[in-house]
Structure 1
Amino acid sequence: MVWRVHSSHRAPHAPNPTAQPDELAGGRFDSLDGSYAYLYLADSPDGAIAETICRDLPLDPTIARIVPASAVTGRTLTALTVTRTLTTAALHGPHLAAVGQDLWLTKCEARHYVTTRRWAHAVRTADPALDGLAYRPRHNEDTLAWILTTDPAITPHPDLTIDPTTTPLPLDHVPGRDLVARIIADHSAILSPT
């Protein structure tokens, strides 16, 4: 089972086909040119929330760590089942050296995402059979996250199904807000009430 925080208006296993050519929008390993669709997952609710909701928290301890309520508005946490063994490139620990990188690749701030997207593109180009990348979230080294990639014309992701044993949890209502508040508190952050 893997976990995903996603827009409540999209299917949880629907990849995003949007090209993200600049740092003003999107995530760390999004497609620069739309050549692949992508979605982010984690091995636990904590990892999924850390990677999405906590992603932009400042690392500077002198800056307030407040997550705006808008970060959870219209978002849902959903459990998914992977239906086949996937092949991913490990971008954590000593594996980073194999691609000529260090922790910067997975820990840098959003202003560097155009560069991290170029690295993701290069890794995928070097091994087109990859299903995605595995990495440690910036704000939770104890969890594992993945970006899975697929053909932009395919939706939902062909290797994911919604887990039937777990009810999706809207994050903008209790108990979803309570879960987010608990997890971000572990990261010395608070959820803004409005």
Structure 2
Amino acid sequence: MPKYPPPETPSGEPNRVTLPAGTPVYRVHGSHRDATGFNPRPAHAFYFGGRFDSTTYEKYGYLYVGFGVGAAVCEALLRSIPFDGDGMRLLQREAFERRSLSFLRLATDVDVVSLMSGRDLTAVAQDTWLVHTEGADYPQTRDWGHWIRRTVAPWAQGFVWPSKREPADRVAVLFEDRCGEPPLEPTGAPRIDFGTEEGERWLNAVLAPYRTQAAPRPHERIL
């Protein structure tokens, strides 16, 4: 784990990629939230929050998407959940019952910093720690994200990187203050509400290949 702060000045140019309009993306979000809306609430600078959330030190609306259903679900719900002795994982109900998955697409081209490869990460003075480290280090990854936005890539509308929990796919964060037009639009497919019985069955089908299942409802538990 790199225990050093970002350099004062960048040593090179980040690698810019354009995510084209029409690209399908998937978002796990609070069921109360508009599927295409940004999260306006800054994370705590030192404790709770996501990898590249805003903080009170640098405020911006943000949202995360996966480029596949598995990446979206795993990144949102399977953070730091250990396997038990049988090689299975149990997802606690409070982690998903108030969440939904929405089927979206990019409504416009979006220019993002690529953090996909070793060369991409080196261009922002980092290595795989930035996109693979667990939540205990997120205060530091947020600080690095702010530095990349502010110092290295003031043009960046977001970042894209390999999913830690589904490495065959990608995830991205988008920044509201850098997107002149709303970047997401619904595809027309109905969202999946994980708090319903049908939504829970759908979620369990997605989680099964990852050897994970939702914890049973209280009345289903064996006393």
Post-superposition offset of 1:22: 3.6
Deviations for 1:46-86, whole angstroms, at most 9, x for unmatched residues? 11101101123248989963210111111111011211110
Aligned residues, how many?
A: 190
Decide which of 13, 33, 46 is 1:10's aligned counterpart: 33
List runs of 5+ in structure 1 lacking aligned partners.
Answer: none
1:74 counterpart letter in structure 2: R
Structure 1 residues 4 and 158 mapped into 2: Cα distance closer, same or farther (>3 Å)? same
Match of 1:99 among 119, 124, 143: 124
Provide the rounded CA distance (Å) in 1 between the counterparts of 2:83 and 2:123.
27
Q: Which amino acid aligns with 1:2?
A: V
Distance 1:179 1:106 in 2: 28
- 2:143 is aligned, of 118, 125, 131, to 118
Q: Could you say which residue in structure 1 is the equivalent of 2:93?
A: 69
Moved more, 13-22 or 82-91: 13-22
Deviates more, 1:20-29 or 1:132-141: 20-29
Per-residue CA shift, 1:78-116, capped at 9, x if unaligned? 011211110111112221122122221112111110000
Q: Deviations over 1:114-151 (max 9, x none)?
A: 00001111111121111100012221101110100012
Higher relative contact order (CA 8 A, sep 6+): 1
CA separation in 2, counterparts of 1:40 and 1:93?
Answer: 19
Percent identity at matched positions?
Answer: 28
| Counterpart Cα distance in 1 of 2:169 and 2:214 | 21
- TM-score w.r.t. the length of structure 2 is 0.77
Paired residue secondary structure (1:66): strand
Equivalent residue, structure 1, for 2:157: 131
* 1-structure distance, mates of 2:186, 2:113: 24
Q: Is the 8 A contact 1:54 1:184 kept in 2?
A: no
**Residue pair 1:89, 1:130 contacting (<8 A) in 2 also:** yes
Give the alignment's Cα RMSD to 1 decimal: 2.3
Larger Rg: 2
2:79 to 37, 44, 55: 55
Q: How does 1:169-180 map to 2 (within 5 A)?
A: 169-180=192-203
TM-score, normalising length: structure 1: 0.88
Q: CA deviation at 1:45?
A: 1.3
Counterpart CA distance in 1 for 2:209 and 2:127 is 25
